[in-house]
Structure 1
Amino acid sequence: MSVEDLVRDNAHLLNVQSVLQHAAVASLACTGPRTIGPDRKPQRLEIKQDMSTILPAVEVARASVQSVNIQPAMELVDACIFPDIDAINASIVKRELAEECKRSVRMQLKEIKERQQSAVNGRHASQREKEQQQLFINSLVMRQENEKLLQQQAEQLAKKELEMQQRDQLALLRHNNQKLLLLTIEAVSRCHNRFCSKYEAVTKLLMTLDKESVQACAAINVELRELGQMFDQLVGKLKNGNCEQPELSCVFTAEQYCQSLDKLEDSLHQQLTEQEQQLLHKAKQQAEEKEKQRILEAEQHRQQKQEEQKQQEQKKQELEAQLKATADAAAAAAAQEVRPVETPVVAPATASGSISTSYVHPTRLAFYNEIIALYQSKVDAVKPLQTDEAWKKYRTNCQRTINVPLNAITASSPQHLTNNFDKLYNFFAGQAVRTTDGSNITINDHPLARDYCILLMAKKFVSQTDTAISSNPQAAFPFASVINSFWKLLPDFGNIFLAYMFKESPYLVPYVIPQQPDQTPEQYLKTMGYRLSDTNELEKPDMFLKRQTGIARLYAAVIITPGRKADGPTHPFGLEEAWRWLSHIMLVKPLPDICATMIMEMLQTLGFELWRAYGQNFLKLLVYIQTIYIPQLAAYDEGGPKTRLEMLLSKFLRERQIPQAVGVLPPGFW
């Protein structure tokens, strides 16, 4: 029998108990034949159980029956006379036993069911656990396989990326190597071009030297040849692609060769400068000897003139004696009236006080004297303001008002140039200017302030040749444009500016001031533009030439640079001044170094405009300088400037053109 059948039997027994209880109640209303009741004989039931065990069960059954709420029915049952109480008790006991059995069976069934359920649950749990373990193992295996597959894919992808990166790096490396090689070739080519030009210049310079100078520079010549050979070897290896050095090392090597050539050129120029100084010293000695010879000749000439005068006096006395004798003879004869004989009148010799045209042309000398006279009159006029201590602060403020915008003049932009010009012009126009101490000043605060400020500004413009223009040629053109603008608005300023230029460099006149008999060599060189230090030391020749170059650049820039558009197209100091200067410099006595330097600077700055304006006439002037003037200059000058001038002229005549100077301001710039 299964557990389900046992459960169904127990349920059936429970239904029997309920049926008996209902039957006892229903028997009271039963009208048909009855099987139980007081009028029926009791039926005896055999009870095999022991009474000792039945009685307690009966009591329990009674109590259970009493617990049912059928009090009226029980009273009726008690009133009735049962056929057999034992049978009833037995049935009750049986029922109780059945109930107890049912309960026991239910408990056992429940325990069996629980054990079976727990066993089933255990099997299910173990099965689930096995399934989970299997799933976990499967997932772990799958994850390991996936990871292994992903790792393989990642390795393949990384390998591909690495190969691509390596290919890209190789391609980039080849590209960079090619680019670096091209840059190296370009850099070495630039160095080679610079080296060749410098090598050619040094070679030409050596070719122009005399035998003694070449022998003195023999070591430099050998070193120059070795540098040229090494550079050619470097270029040849780089072209063939078998250069053992890295690319940058080739560039550094080429740069070192260029620097070595620069040092070689500097040493050559230094030696030539020393030789030039020696030649200059010899020339000075020769000039002194010539001067002594000239003085001696002048003394001899004076003595000769005195002797001639004595002879003339003697002849005059003899002539007077003859005339007296003739008169006496005529009076004694008294033949007729005779006319007196006219005697010749001899004019005394006059010494000429004019300067020879070999020093300066008369027209240029007159122009120079006029400019210097105007300058001197202005200087004398402002002395009361310049020496008055009560106006010292005012003078200082005027200097600051002029110096600050003037020092800031550049061609960086038209607006920048206009702003600095306006600051200067507004001050000269009478507008008030705030100083650093908070006060306001105007140019009308003192009657002599205008002339004082014009002198101050002109001097400051000329001083720019020492600081800015000598080292930066392009800086001359914005200064020149402002100078021309002020020249149009203040004509006296232009003449004062020229006076300062002529004082710093009389070669711009051109005027070779002759040395006076009472002048020392230092004093004479000072009149020719050299400067003396506070310790009375004379300026070195190279510094002198550098400063004179800056002055010539500014002078040339003023000639070709236009002023403001607002002031009109007229030029106060035009291109004809450059032609006049070049034609007159050919007529004066050549001086070593300085004449060649000034002519070369003028041609480099003005040559383009002169060629465009004068055409064939300017070309003839260049040919004249090369064929006539250079040989004359060679008698006094054998230095580097003269050689550079020859090379420059040869280049201009060979190329039939002169490039325009760098930095020239275009018309209408501001």
Structure 2
Amino acid sequence: MSIEEMMRVQALDWMKVKTTMHHAALTSKECTGRTLGEDREPLWVEDSGSSSKASPTSKKNSVDSEPNTFSSYDTKSNNAKNVTREKEEEAKGCVLQQLKALSMTDSEPSISCFPDAQAINASIVKRELEEEGKRCVRQQLKALKDKQDALRLSRESQQKEDERQREQLQQKALRERNDILLIQKADQMTTAQLEAQQREQLALRQQTDQKLHKLALEGVSRCQRRFNQKYEGIARILLSLDKETVQVCSTQNTQLKELGQKFEHLVSTVKMGKCEMQSQYLCSIIKAEECCKSLDTLELEIIKQLAEFSEQIQQQLKMEAAKKLEEERQKQLDEEKQRREKEETEAKEKQQQLAEAAKAEAAKAEAAKVPIPSEPKSQDVPPDATATTSSCVHPDRLKFYNEILSLYQTKVDAVKPLQTEESLKQYRTGCQRAINLPLNAISAVSPQHLSQNFDKLYSFFAGQPVKVMNGASITINDHPLARDYCMLLMAKKFVSQTETAISSNPQAAFPFASVIVTFWKLLPDFGKVFLAYMYKESPFLVPYVIPQQPGQTPEQYLKTIGYRLSEKNELEKPDMYLKRQTGIARLYAAVIITQGRKAAGNDQCFELEEGWVWLTHMVNVKPLPDISATMIMEILQTLGFELWRTYGKQFVKLLVYIQNIYMPQLAAYDEGGPKTRLEMLLAKFLRERQIPQAVGILPPGFW
């Protein structure tokens, strides 16, 4: 029960008690005896009773009219107010019952049935009491209503305060949520900015890494070319040695393998870009340079070791040769002694026979008296004088060399109008493109591949049209000088392959040589032009050691024997010169022993005899440092197998001559690596009594 209901119930109880006591006070004045009990008769009669009885009902109705008016104020209240109204109605019912009982007690039956003054006063008092009770009830109801209004107002204010607090809490929560969203947005923006900065830094780092990677690749690639050239040279030295000699350099051989593996690992690391730090890219270049320097040092050690071993071998060979020579000399002395003894014995016998014959003749002469003629004395016949060859070039080879150069110069002079005319520049470019593209693609991948590239070249020389840039096509018959121009151009392009593909890959010489030999058969002038370009690049292929003219500077002389000038007008380094000359010698030897296309015929334009003639003339001209030993070694490695098989013992005698006669002459001018390698190669060939066949040579009928 709420506080309002309790207050209402207490007020009604107080009203009941007050009204009851007031009525009792009024009634006690009129009563003179006992009025209650079963033995007492009622004090009213039927008529008066009915009238008195009716009055309370009318009063009740009048009283009930007030609550009805009051109840209209509460029609809009809730369920709690309805309960309160029911309790008020019950209280009012109790009050009316008490008033009814009071009226019943106040109405005394009269015999005359007329009210007396007391009855009137009692009715007036009763009416006043009723009015007072109504007024008190109205006051209490008004007080209750005021309390209810105050409570409603307090509740409304409390609700408003609660709503205001709730709105404040909501606004505070909204502000907090907005603050959180702002903080999150700021964090996101900060994170995005940080990520953008990190991406920019990462992109910048990647660009820097790419640049450093590119620089490292360029630096390491330059070192790789140097390393590979030096490594191949050392490997060829070691491969040309026998097992006994290789064991002498076993330590250096192991170091060479380790150094090669280390350099390969370095190159693979740089190519894959596995360097975690930027400084490692620069360190990779430094390491590559260190590997090249280590390889140079290793080469010097190997050459020194081989030179010492070669000296030991030479001393052993000299001792064995001296011993053998001594034995042969002793044997010859013994034989000479036996021959002399035999001759003396025969001479004595002959003298005895002559003495006996002389005696017989003397006896006969004396008998006949005829003098004996004396024997005529023998006279010595002077030996025939032999012609001596030049120390620079054999006259026959010089004559051939001049004929080749004369033909070449004639063709060069003839095509000058085509070369110099500006309007034919596009035509010249088309001719170069028609020759360069198939020529650069020549390789021994398959017979079909080699034949396809040859057909492209030969079809152009046969007059068929060839497509060039912009969809246009040209033929070799478009200009009368085009054939000689393209022949010179193709010969020059073949010779240029010696310094690019062949110098680093010896096996590449044979497919080029096969195509050259085929063109030589089909176009004889091409072969002479090709030789002219070869002789211009290396006069040692004649062989012709051009002498230095009086007043000629060393640079000018080096240019005459094949050295080149760079774009900065600097003379090329000796190692690059020797590498280029090595490629030229390989192609020259490959042309000698390689057969052309089988459809072109079996005739060989450049026979094996050319190799024999070159070798025999080379050992009779003046040796030069490095280049002489290099050229002889390359020719022997490529042609040695065929020369030994063809010339047999004569070739072996030539090798012995080179070892015993030519090498001491070369030692007076050359003490470098090529000379040492040639000594080891000759010792190996003579010790094993064989020369291996060159690797990569094309079999007969390959295409």
TM-score for the superposition, normalised by structure 2: 0.48
TM-score for the superposition, normalised by structure 1: 0.50
